[in-house]
Amino acid sequence: MQNSETSNETPIVQVRGLSKGYGKTKVLHGIDFSIPTGKIYGLIGHNGAGKTTAINTLLGLTNYEGDVRVLGMEPFANRAELMRDIAFISDVASLPRFLKVNQLLDMMEGLHPNFVRQNAQSMLQDTDIRGNVKIKSLSKGMLAQLHLAVVMAIDAKLLVLDEPTLGLDITFRKKFYRRLVEDYMSENRSILITTHQVDEIEFLLSDLIFIREGKIVLNDSMDSISQRFIQVLVSAEQVKEALSKRPVFSTKQLGQTIMIFDGLDQETAESFGSTSTPSVSDLFVALMEQKSQSQGKL
């Protein structure tokens, strides 16, 4: 499946033939993808699919086989220089807990040339976190909020978010993602997000990558995906005919047959039953299970 990228500009991220193993275990199998400027990519896969390994490669945290360029540089050899223009948020907030919040902001101003204190303070206004409070006294949720505010205040060209809102309540998660689109995103930046809360980020994604067992099974724009894939609630008398069109996924729910097709024309799909566009989570389930279904489960 091909990436829908159409930009003529040099991508912020370019990956060709990326492979990585640990001992005899192969984690990534020669994957290819690129991320142009001004895009928000979702990297989605089950635990152990290779998401974290791919991210660690982009951040220069591990060696690898293949060709990887981030902002035109090889990340493992140029990590210190590269991190001036990359911001990274993981699900584990690692903060100096002996400091007060304001002291942390002071430290960031001194350490990172692209840290904008005003942006961090603006984000913290939406929380109960006060500047004179010791970080060690904050709750787990507040620690995550502080971590997000500090990293989001870095004027970076690439923002990598690995389960950024894990443990936060839904109200703050929605505020964070809205702010990500309205205040942070620009045509000169790109964002890469991994999360298990797929439906929450569907509205902000421009492109989607599904990874399964170290291989990419989908790499396309959201616009193209909405045109390619169609979900059909198949009428009982049309099941056999619909199966002949080789759906990528078929299941039964409450006695009804639901199928997802790749590239089936609208007219044919409607002849089988009522149609809709599958959600990202439904499509994820379909393509993750496609391998087993192709072995005789349909």
* In the predicted structure, residue 295 carries a pLDDT above the cut 60: no
pLDDT at site 200 = 85
Question: What distance, in Å, lies between the first and last C-alpha atoms of the chain?
Answer: 22
pLDDT at site 73 = 96
Q: Is the dihedral of CA 238, 243, 245, 248 positive or negative?
A: positive
CATH numeric code, 225-297: 3.30.70
* In the predicted structure, residue 1 carries a pLDDT above the cut 70: no
pTM over 0.75: yes
Contact (CB, 8 A) for 5 and 50: no
Q: Which residues pair with 21 in a beta bridge?
A: 26
Q: Which long-range contacts (CB under 8 A, 24 or more apart) does 20-29 make?
A: 20/50, 20/53, 20/57, 20/62, 20/64, 20/65, 26/214, 27/53, 27/214, 28/53, 28/54, 28/57, 28/64, 28/214, 29/213, 29/214, 29/215
Pick the more confident residue, 89 or 298: 89
* In the predicted structure, residue 294 carries a pLDDT above the cut 80: no
| % of the chain residues with pLDDT over 90 | 69
Mean pLDDT of 244-259: 94
Could you read off the pLDDT of 62-99 as tens digits, one per residue?
A: 999 999 999 999 999 999 999 999 999 876 557 898 99
Could you read off the pLDDT of 108-155 as tens digits, one per residue?
A: 999 899 999 999 999 899 889 999 999 999 988 888 889 889 988 999
Sequence letter at residue 138:
L
* In the predicted structure, residue 20 carries a pLDDT above the cut 70: yes
| Site of tokens 């069109």 | 245
